[in-house]
Amino acid sequence: MIELSIAPLVVAANTGSTSRIVLAVTVLAFAGALVAARRPRERPLAGKSTHRTSSPAQAVGPEARQTEWLNTALLFVLAGYIMFDRPFAWIHVPGTPLFVGEMVLALGIAVIFTTNTGLPTLIRSSSSLRALRVFMVWGAVLLAVGILPYGLDAIRDSAIWYYGMVAFFVVMLFVSRPQRVNEWLIAFAKLLPIYLIWYPFATVVHRIVGESIYVPDSEVPLFFHRSGNMAVLSAIGIAFLWMADGDSKLFTSRQRAWLTSVATLVIVFTGLQNRGGMVSSAALIAALLFLLSKRRTEMVMMMMGILVFFASIGLVFDVKIELFDDRDISIEQFTKNITSIFNPDEGGQRQTETTAWRLNIWEQVLDDVTNDSPIMGFGPGPDLGERYDISTDPTHPLRNPHNSHVGVLARMGWVGIILWAMLWITWMAEMQTLRRRLRYRDRPRESALATWIMLAPIPILVNAVFDPTLEGAQVSMLLWAFYGAGSALVILNQQNRLPVLTETRFPQVERVPTHSAAN
């Protein structure tokens, strides 16, 4: 058995949070110094001015290399989160709270301060980015108040807003080189079939291996996946196949049919364990059907067909597979989960108690914030699980309400929750305007991409009602990446620089002919 069950955050809290904060600041400074050191001093050329270009799109040389490092690192980390969920997020420097996500944030901050990104100008040109900036500033104010009494815990409780830096990184990357829109599109299209096929295997492997193998220096099982996250990403994949690639440029009709079937099975499969993932997926599918202009019936028939096929097998052979700890894979369990969504009493005593438990916590938080600290909430740092005497596991006590949105209210007060709502309303309005303008300008593929990006955060935000997923990098960074991608498309469209989308997952690289010295 390979088991290293020392959680770095707990170690940091017990050994002195101040020293850990100093270490984190030192590493951030060191990362910035490394990037700056690789940037050669500009030298004047004959007949040319030495002033830095004002347009981030014209960045060349060292600045282009630094943004490319960030682009590669961000793509790698997001792909890791999609494929491996929480175990990947727990990759870190042993004995420190420096996780892979925080390392990418450090790299991005270093790139911003050492290159001509033009980020302030980009923020001023986008309502959604301005709204995000205000939300993050409010979070930073609360962190400044809580960091001295609570130390590292205050930083950890601020994750939901400081991961918003990812949105600014994506905007910076796309606007500095618009062709990255196609690069990210192709990257997701290539990853989509891989993660859809991997999820069922990952669940089975985790069931077989159990908790015998852990991520080094953590208590996270190596093959652990949250079922709600798998369902959400499967639904996002279906939306990509039918909306972003509705004209079958990246996938053939047969490939789309197979992948839709696999994604549907993953949603049902994970829905047996997690109702939140099923509800979140249903919310996205409903929105997708509402916005699809063609092939709506084809998609519904394909998804229903695969459900009817496997349901028939389950009924005829009375299939029952004990894969999860407290629920089996069977038609009876699936039916029970569906009915319990609308009537918690139908889910049995456990479901009734769970629903009542959550509603009771949320009601207490709402009353306490409103009566005790309506402006600033309780701030980052206090252990809300201890305050409300709640826990699902004595060895892993809860620090936040079992709802990321209620967590925003608890940590950031009514000011924070209003800013949280406003930034998403502003972003959705921008995306809706963008997709309509692109359609009117006869750019249907770009309009479809904007629509998919607008839809993708919906299941993530819905799932956060059932599970506090936005406190973890594996979900939060992906959410903010979608936010940044949408804002970047809006800015590129304003600048008339939105690229024509690629029509293949495997674009051929144009080779420049080389000539010998003799020629």
Q: Where are the beta strands (DSSP E) in 105-222?
A: none
Compute the Cα dihedral for 223, 224, 227, 231 and give only its sign: negative
pTM score of the predicted model: 0.84
51 occurs within a structural domain: no
Which of 58-72, 291-305, 405-419 is the least confident region? Answer: 58-72
Confidence at residue 345, expressed as pLDDT on a 0 to 100 scale: 53
Instruction: Determine the Cα angle at 11 with ends 10 and 15, to 5°.
Output: 120
Nearest to 194, CA basis, from 243, 247, 259? 259
* Banded model confidence at residue 313, pLDDT cuts 50, 70, 90: confident
DSSP 512: P
Asked if residue 476 has pLDDT above 80, the reply is yes
Strand partners, 2: 213
Contacts for 345 with CB less than 8 Å, ≥ 6 apart? 351, 352
Whether 517 maps to a domain, the answer reads no
Element (H, E) at 48: none
Of all residues in the chain, what percent are helix, strand and coil, respectively (each to 5)?
70, 0, 30
CA-CA-CA-CA torsion sign (431, 434, 439, 442): negative
Q: How many domains does the chain have?
A: 1
Residues 6+ apart with CB under 8 A from 473: 81, 89, 99, 100, 101, 102, 159, 163
Closest C-alpha to 499, from 174, 198, 94, 271: 174
Question: Is the Cβ–Cβ distance between 171 and 488 less than 8 Å?
Answer: yes
H or E segment to which residue 188 belongs: helix 180-209
- 269 pLDDT band (50/70/90 cuts)? confident
pLDDT of residue 318: 62
Greater confidence (88 vs 513) lies with 88
Give the model's pLDDT for residue 100: 95
**Cβ contact 98:92 at 8 Å:** yes
Mutual orientation of helices 127-150 and 473-494 as an angle, nearest 10°?
150
Structural domain span for residue 405? 8-38+58-494
Closest CA to 95 of 39, 1, 24, 167: 24
- DSSP-based three-state secondary structure for 440: helix
Does residue 396 sit in helix, strand or coil? coil
Through-space distance between the first and last CA atoms of the chain, rounded to whole angstroms: 65
pLDDT, mean over the chain: 82
Q: Count of CB atoms within 10 A of residue 503's CB?
A: 13
Residue 391 binned pLDDT confidence (cut-offs 50, 70, 90): low
For tokens 């249907």, the residue is 444
Is 347 within a domain?
yes
| Amino acid at site 126 | S
Residue 397: the pLDDT is 62
What is the arithmetic mean of pLDDT over 34-51?
Answer: 37
Q: What is the pLDDT of residue 320?
A: 64
3 located within any domain:
no
For 230-239, the pLDDT digits (tens) are 999 999 999 9
In a domain, 49, yes or no: no
Half-sphere exposure in the Cβ direction for 89 (13 Å, CA): 22
* Structural element, H or E, at residue 517: none
Kindly tell me if the per-residue pLDDT of 205 is higher than 60: yes
Q: Say how many C-beta atoms besides its own lie within 10 A of residue 440's C-beta.
A: 9
Between 275 and 355, residue with greater pLDDT: 275
pLDDT at 45 over 90: no
pLDDT > 70? residue 319: no
* 218 belongs to a structural domain: yes
Task: Decide if 105 contacts 32 (C-beta within 8 A).
Answer: no
Report the distance separating Cα 513 and Cα 498, nearest Å: 29
DSSP labels for 272-296? TT-HHHHHHHHHHHHHHHHH--SSH
pLDDT of residue 32: 42
Taking alpha carbons only, the member of 105, 108, 127 closest to residue 117 is: 108
Residue 136 domain-assigned (yes or no): yes
Cα–Cα distance for residue pair 194/294, rounded to 1 Å: 27
Pairwise CA distance, residues 58 & 47, whole Å? 19
Lowest mean pLDDT across 4-8, 19-23, 293-297:
4-8
Longest dimension (CA), the chain: 84
What pLDDT score does 252 carry?
93
Q: CB neighbours of 470 closer than 8 A, spacing ≥ 6?
A: 159, 160, 404, 407, 460, 464, 476, 479
Could you give the angle at which helices 473-494 and 100-114 cross, rounded to 10 degrees?
30
Does a structural domain hold residue 401?
yes
Contacts of 419 (CB under 8 A, 6+ apart): 131, 134, 135, 138, 412
pLDDT band (50, 70, 90) for residue 424 = very high
What's the pLDDT score for residue 402?
Answer: 83
